[in-house]
Amino acid sequence: MTVLVTGGAGYIGSHTCLELLQTGQDVLVLDNLANSSEEPLRRVQEITGKHLDFVEGDIRDTELLDKLFSQRQIDSVVHFAGLKAVGESTQIPLDYYENNVWGSVNLLQAMQRAGVCKFVFSSSATVYGDPHTVPILENFPLKVTNPYGRTKLMVEDICRDLASSDNRWQIALLRYFNPAGAHPSGRIGEQPSGIPNNLVPYITQVAIGKREFLSVFGDDYDTPDGTGVRDYLHVVDLAIGHLKALDRLGTQQGCVAYNLGTGQGYSVLQMVKAFEKASSKEIPYQITPRRPGDIACCYADPAFAEAELNWKAEKGLDEMMADSWRWQSQNPEGFGE
Ligand code: NAD
Ligand code: UD1
């Protein structure tokens, strides 16, 4: 039985393919390479010594999806494919709705035609907006503030409606907190296109001299040191969360949302210090105004995922930073394209 991984050449997808191969699963990746290349998949096969199948193509291509589902014994789908930059989503919202929402509908329709009902979806903690309190539980109100976030919430709603309409569907909505780090081999990791939006890749690019200094977006938040607090999660832990979700789908009914986070928040300045310790590099920074749309503090209550999926983040901040640094320092140009 094969797991279809959409967006499997990307950052989280490639780490998940690696874990799937290591547990002996057959993997078929569908990726249009809009934000990736084949190189991570080549390296995943090199690390694991196992083969995966790759099809270059788009989740919006109905004919291609029907062909894949009819030719292969696909048992489940892990759906990473999508556009993910919040700022860009405010500039080109229609591209986000077409790719993330319509693409997902097209994929679910193809699954329905093929009778494949196990679906794991990459959602985000962004669906909680600015929470009233932390830690965040899955039953907190959902509120989104930008087109990217709306695409995630829309697909969640579509999945809930679908599962209510037909009890054969088994769907896990995985709400990631802040993925960071890289595989400990140093061979695969995150390759942001252009200037990184996210904190950890920005820090690592300062460390290799690609960027002059880190802008710390605001030091006047209501947090212990005034800088934003987030729940940073090692990408290998996150990848394993997908395997646990797939296991759980065998017995889970309907559509269920799970927080994937550590439960521990760190501030921007704590992250800088942890990186400096792991890399022995100094990270120059300047305090700049808040980034519009940012919230003060966001971290998960991960107890539900632990109870239901038997999943818990195992890797701490030091390991995350050491792995980020290994990846960045050994691959200053990422995958080289
Ligand atoms: P990524 O950009 O590295 O990977 C996404 C992959 O999907 C890329 O390889 C891209 O080429 C592919 N893709 C995009 N549109 C496609 C399409 N129409 N058809 C086929 N392939 C397509 O991103 P990532 O960081 O690995 O994120 C994976 C998923 O997790 C995304 O849905 C993202 O929104 C979600 N997510 C990411 C984060 C994060 O911080 N990285 C946080 C929460 C949620
Ligand atoms: C961002 C996205 C969010 C997405 C998440 C994970 C925005 C507004 N939100 O959230 O939708 O789900 O990434 O991909 O883009 N910071 C700096 N300097 C930087 C970069 C970040 O100080 O150069 C700070 C931020 O203000 C924040 C923290 O670092 O306090 C983490 O930022 P980031 O990595 O962008 O993640 P989120 O803000 O959680």
Q: What's residue 336's pLDDT?
A: 86
Residue having the nearest C-alpha atom to atom 15 of ligand 2:
86
Contact present, 176 and 230 (Cβ < 8 Å): no
Q: Is the beta carbon of 82 within 6 A of some atom in ligand 2?
A: no
Q: What's residue 328's pLDDT?
A: 98
Task: Using most ligand atoms within 8 A of CB, pick from 16, 84, 242 the residue to mutate for ligand 1.
Answer: 84
Average pLDDT over residues 166-171: 98
Instruction: State pLDDT tens for residues 116-156.
Output: 999 999 999 999 999 999 999 999 999 999 999 999 999 99
Q: Which atom of ligand 2 is nearest to the CA of 291?
A: 26
Closest alpha carbon to 230 in 288, 274, 296: 296
Q: What's residue 321's pLDDT?
A: 98
Confidence of residue 337 (pLDDT cuts 50, 70, 90): low
Report the C-alpha gap between 201 and 331 in whole angstroms.
13
Q: What's residue 207's pLDDT?
A: 98
Instruction: State pLDDT tens for residues 88-120.
Output: 999 999 999 999 999 999 999 999 999 999 999
Average pLDDT over residues 64-83: 98
Q: What is the pTM of this model?
A: 0.98
Residue having the nearest C-alpha atom to atom 15 of ligand 1:
82
- In Å, what is the CA distance from 227 to each residue of 48, 129, 222? 39, 18, 8
SS3 category, 176: strand
Instruction: State pLDDT tens for residues 201-260.
Output: 999 999 999 999 999 999 999 999 999 999 999 999 999 999 999 999 999 999 999 999
Residue having the nearest C-alpha atom to atom 2 of ligand 2:
86
Report the C-alpha gap between 67 and 70 in whole angstroms.
5
Classify 299 in phi/psi space as left (phi over 0), alpha (psi -120 to 50) or beta.
beta
Q: Which domains does the chain have, with CATH numbers?
A: 2-182+232-262+301-314 (3.40.50.720)
Average pLDDT over residues 297-322: 98
SS3 category, 335: coil
Instruction: State pLDDT tens for residues 266-305.
Output: 999 999 999 999 999 999 999 999 999 999 999 999 999 9
Report the C-alpha gap between 183 and 215 in whole angstroms.
26
